[in-house]
Each structure stands twice: as structure tokens, then as C-alpha cells.
Amino acid sequence: DIQMTQSPSSLSASVGDRVTITCRASQSITNYLNWYQQKPGKAPNLLIYAASILQSGVPSRFSGSGSGTDFTLTISSLQAEDFASYYCQQTYGTPPYTFGQGTKLEIK
Amino acid sequence: QVQLQESGPGLVKPSETLSLTCTVSGSSVRNGNCYWSWIRQPPGKGLEWIGFISYSGSTKYNPSLKSRVTISMDTSKNQFSLKLSSVTATDTAVYYCAKVRVGLTAPIDDWGQGTLVAVSS
């Protein structure tokens, strides 16, 4: 199975900050990488797919980049509603399509 | 937008079979642009991909669960289902049904609200 490792596991930041979350795959996954946001008690919500394509309706302050094994999710200017957990998911080749362990973004 | 709703028992005894159904509205389970998936999340932990079923009925499962899991589809009711046999306490989780967009990187673009299933005697 392809292992996905996110860093950091948790992060404290303030409204207006620029935040970057990293996801590393145990082998190359080209651009088969999706990002999700999950708020407490809610289902995850798709933010970015194919490493860098913004899902319809997602604010432009979210962006994704990377290919191969290293990927980043960036929030350019944190808003109050962005405090949540974030997960990457790889969908390369044969299942399972594994998720990272998550990054919890908290208010400083 | 597609809506998905999980249903099934919230409590299952150890060694028994967990059974959940997902009712889909706003799309057909025979839609060739979608796969239909199950994902779970133990309390306070991360997401685990269980598997999916395609519009044609073909399935893919997580190898770690493959011997215990079955995903099936009922096109007459526009539903798909999950069965997980021989459950233990480690199968306690919120179970989500979801729609996967076929193509590109198969993102999960619609989710049910999730249903908590506890395994306990």
C-alpha cells in the first residue's frame, strides 16, 4: 500500500496567516492527489483534486501544488471558517486509496 | 448536487455482520460518471478507505478488509450497501457513503452525513 504522511499533525495559526500543509507519498503518485477539509462532526469536503485543481465553489485562497511524492496545500489568508482538519488522499494505481493521517488547524 | 444518506443499526455485537445502506438522490447509481464508495473514521482518528462499486457492479476493496467486506448495489431502489462481517471493537467508527467522480484523480465529491456504528456486546 502507498503510505501518505502529512505534516504537521497539528498547527496553530491566526486569522490572516498564510498556512502550508505538506503531504508526502511513500512512492511516486504523479498528480493523483486530492485534498479534503473536515469540520468537527461533519463529513469531509473536497477542496482540491489532481494536486492543484480547485473544486468548484471552493474559495481561491486555497491552492495545491506538487507532483511525484511531495505535495502542499496552501491557504493564502486564513479565515475563521478555515479552522478544521485537512486530509490528503492518493488515488494512484491499485487500491487502497489511502488518506494521510490528517492535520488539525487550530486558532492561535 | 447529489445527496447520500446512510441507514442501518447503530450498534452491532462482536462477531456479527455490520450492514449499512446508502440511498442516493439526485443521480442514478447506474451513472457511468460515478463510483459509489464507503469510507470510515474511528472516533477521534483519521479516514480509512473501505472500497467502491462501479456503475457496472464491479468492486474494489481495501485489502486489509477484503476478506470481510462486500459492497453491492440495488438499482431498483437507487441504493448501494456495505456488509462487514466478523466485526470487533476496532470496527467502531463513523461510516460514510460517498460519490466518486470517475476520471482524473477520482475525487470524492459528495458525501453522506455519516452514521456512527458501535461494536459492543
Q: What is the pLDDT tens value at each position of chain B, 121 positions in all?
A: 899 999 999 999 999 999 999 999 999 999 999 999 999 999 999 999 999 999 999 999 999 998 999 999 999 999 999 999 999 999 999 999 999 999 889 999 999 999 999 999 9
Whether the CB of B105 is below 8 Å from some CB of chain A: the reply is: yes
Does residue A51 come out as left (phi exceeding 0), alpha (psi in the -120 to 50 range) or beta? left
Question: Would you say A34 and B104 are in contact if contact means Cβ atoms under 8 Å apart?
Answer: no
Among B53, B71, B108, B115, the residue to mutate for chain A (most A Cβ within 10 A): B108
* CA distances for B36 relative to A10, A65, A100, B40, angstroms: 31, 27, 21, 14
In the block, residue with C-alpha cell 502550508: A20
- The reply to whether residue A46 touches residue B107, judged by beta carbons under 8 angstroms, is yes
Question: In the prediction, which pLDDT does B103 show?
Answer: 84
Q: Which of A32, A45, A99 is nearest residue B105 as measured by Cβ atoms?
A: A32
* CA distances for B100 relative to A97, B41, B107, angstroms: 12, 17, 6
**Cβ neighbours around A60 below 10 Å, total:** 7
Question: Would you say A65 and A47 are in contact if contact means Cβ atoms under 8 Å apart?
Answer: no
The 10s digit of each residue's pLDDT in A38-97 is 999 999 999 999 999 999 999 999 999 999 999 999 999 999 999 999 999 999 999 999
Question: In the prediction, which pLDDT does B104 show?
Answer: 83
Of the candidates B73, B93, B78, the residue with the CA atom closest to the CA atom of residue B5: B78
Question: In the prediction, which pLDDT does B66 show?
Answer: 84
Instruction: Measure the CA–CA gap between B29 and B8, rounded to whole angstroms.
Output: 19
The 10s digit of each residue's pLDDT in A5-14 is 999 999 999 9
Of the candidates B27, B10, B46, the residue with the CA atom closest to the CA atom of residue B110: B27
Indicate the length of chain B as a whole number. 121
Instruction: Measure the CA–CA gap between A63 and A74, rounded to whole angstroms.
Output: 5
Q: Which of A31, A36, A95 is nearest residue B105 as measured by Cβ atoms?
A: A31
Instruction: Measure the CA–CA gap between A34 and B56, rounded to whole angstroms.
Output: 25
Q: List chain A residues with CB under 8 Å of B49.
A: 89, 95-99
Question: In the prediction, which pLDDT does A71 show?
Answer: 98
